[in-house]
Structure 1
Amino acid sequence: MEWQDEGFVLTRRRHGEAGLVVHAFTFQHGRHAGLVQGGGARANAHLWQPGNRLDLHWHARMAEQLGNLKGEAIRTHAADVLDTPLALAGLSSAMALLDQGTAERDPHPGLYAATVQLADALCDDDAWLGHYVRFELVLLAETGFGLSLDRCAVTGVTEDLDYVSPRTGSAVSYEAAADWAPRLLKLPRFLLDGSHPDRAQVLDGLRLAGHFLEQRLFEAVDRPVPPARERLVGLLQPSG
């Protein structure tokens, strides 16, 4: 059994003196593990960092075995953002969500495409933050917990959608929300029109996605939301 694919390194742990057991999120094979012979050696340490996107080759005698994994760099995202704490936190959070929120060997090509878009957008400014929130919403959708944001669940209108029901995950218009507005989650405009969000809108988007990550996805897999995501949210909170 063997395959060739591309994927993001999610986690790595030592195996023996110089080996690594690596979990990667791949385009065609989902989250997949493999043993990297010599991956822990000094010469190879930079390659197998979480967040790096690699061209991967996996082979094993039988499909259910751990198998051996080899890789070559497509883009070393971890090194690209090493000196940018916020972008590094975003990359780390995305990798942790993929590692702990997706099923083993379950392919999600749409989610993989969203991950590539996010990783390629990471940079010094805040332009990538909107991609990050959209990545979390794609993760929810691809794992069966998608939100319905295209029309009001109460009236059916498609305009003035300002809120989301924390119970149903459906959009609610400003008029329909009325006195219930304080109990609803804010729906930031950039998720509807593709505009560039400010920090306040990003935080609204993270609160929206975070509620459903916690209450739906991670409750279903009986795990807490990864601490890496909490670190990212903490960095974005206003100081003082």
Structure 2
Amino acid sequence: MEWQDEGIVLGVRRHGETSVIAEVMTAVHGRHLGLVRGGRSRTLRPVLQPGNRVALTWRARLSEHLGEYRVEPLSQRAALLMQSATALYGVQAMAALLRLLPERDPHGHLLEAMEVIITHLDEPESAGELYVRFELALLNELGFGLDLEKCAASGSRLNLAYVSPKTGRAVSRDAGAPYADRMLSLPPFLRPDLNEAADAEGLSAAFRLTAFFLDRHVFEPRGLKPDTARDSFVTATLKALA
């Protein structure tokens, strides 16, 4: 069988002396692996770098087989991404998060979000905010989405200030005041009633917020540790804003 698709390279691993197994987040076929013969050649090695967008033709005798990729470059930006710590670690961190999804399970909007983030990785404020929203979208795809639209206690959409660590729902400042020391902070740029850009303080709170729920619902139950690229991305982003 055979199909054609486009996607972003997440990584490769060596296979034999000249080939690699490429991991690509595709538009229609999700995170998909395939053998690339000659993938370690001078021609294909630059194409198969994380962050590059490629066109793919996949062939296999049966759908459950690994199959082989024929790869053509669409956007080779890996060299540019390597010039910035924010960009380098951002791509690695997003790839690690996408590996939490079932293989071959389509999530086209996450691929689109990754594409947008990659184009803004040289802008720390935009990159940080987009990355946080990427983590929130991933939590939602895994069935652990947060409800940040209205207060869990009053139903109000105004003056939201906290997120309950138990329910993942937003809480207004007044309703959450008696329990403030047990609540997670909701940064202003994630509030639905405001139209504010992210700043260093808000991003720091947002990174803590998404990390808490990723640890609680995803990493700890699976016995996993977060990829170190995430911490490196957070550090590089906040440093650039300092």
Q: Which residue is 2:202 aligned to?
A: 201
Structure 2-normalised TM-score?
A: 0.92
Aligned to 1:148: 147
Q: RMSD of aligned C-alpha atoms?
A: 1.8
One-letter amino acid of the counterpart of residue 103, structure 1: P
Match in the other structure for 1:110: 109
Amino acid at match of 2:140: A
The verdict on how the C-alpha distance between 1:15 and 1:194 changes in structure 2, with shifts beyond 3 A counting, is: farther
Partners of 2:168 and 2:54 in 1: how far apart? 35
Q: Structure 1 residues 238, 184: closer, same or farther in 2, change over 3 A?
A: farther
TM-score when scaled to structure 1?
Answer: 0.93
Q: 2:68 is matched with which residue?
A: 68
Q: Distance in 2 between matches of 1:111 and 1:227?
A: 21
Alpha-carbon spacing, 1:118–1:194, altered in 2? closer, same or farther (3 Å): farther
- CA distance in 1 between counterparts of 2:124 and 2:135 reads 20
- In structure 1, stretches of 5+ residues that fail to align are none
Residue in structure 2 matched with residue 8 of structure 1 by the alignment: 8
Q: 1:70-107 deviations in whole A, cap 9, x for unaligned?
A: 222222232222111122211221112112x1111111
Q: Deviations over 1:129-163 (max 9, x none)?
A: 21111111111111211100000111111101111
Paired amino acid for 1:23: E
- Counterpart in the other structure of 2:224: 223
1:217 Cα deviation from its structure 2 partner: 2.1
Residue 93 of structure 1 pairs with residue 90 of structure 2? no
Moved more, 215-224 or 41-50: 215-224
Q: Please tell me whether the aligned partners of residues 86 and 122 of structure 2 are also in contact (alpha carbons under 8 angstroms).
A: no
Q: Please give the per-residue CA displacement for 1:152-186, whole angstroms capped at 9, x wherever unaligned.
A: 11111110111111111100110011121121111
Q: Which amino acid is the alignment partner of residue 186 of structure 1?
A: S
Q: Structure 1 40/25 Cα, relative in aligned 2: closer, same or farther at 3 Å?
A: same
The answer to whether the 8 A contact 2:85-2:233 is kept is no
Q: Deviations over 1:38-65 (max 9, x none)?
A: 1111222111111222111111010010
- One-letter identity of the residue aligned with 1:228: A
Change (3 A) 1:202 1:215: same
| Counterpart-to-counterpart distance in 2, 1:125 and 1:96 | 20
1:48-197 maps to which residues of 2 (within 5 A)? Answer: 48-99=48-99, 101-192=100-191, 193-197=194-198
The change in CA–CA distance for 1:236 and 1:179 in structure 2 (over 3 A counts) is farther
Alignment partners' CA distance in 2, 1:128 and 1:238: 13
Greater mean deviation of Cα atoms: 211-220 or 200-209? 211-220
CA offsets, 1:105-138, max 9 Å, x none?
1111222221122112222553222111111111
Distance 2:43 2:83 in 1: 21
Give the unaligned 5+ runs of structure 2: none
CA contact (8 A) 1:52 1:75 kept: yes
* Percentage of pairs with the same residue: 42
Aligned length: 239
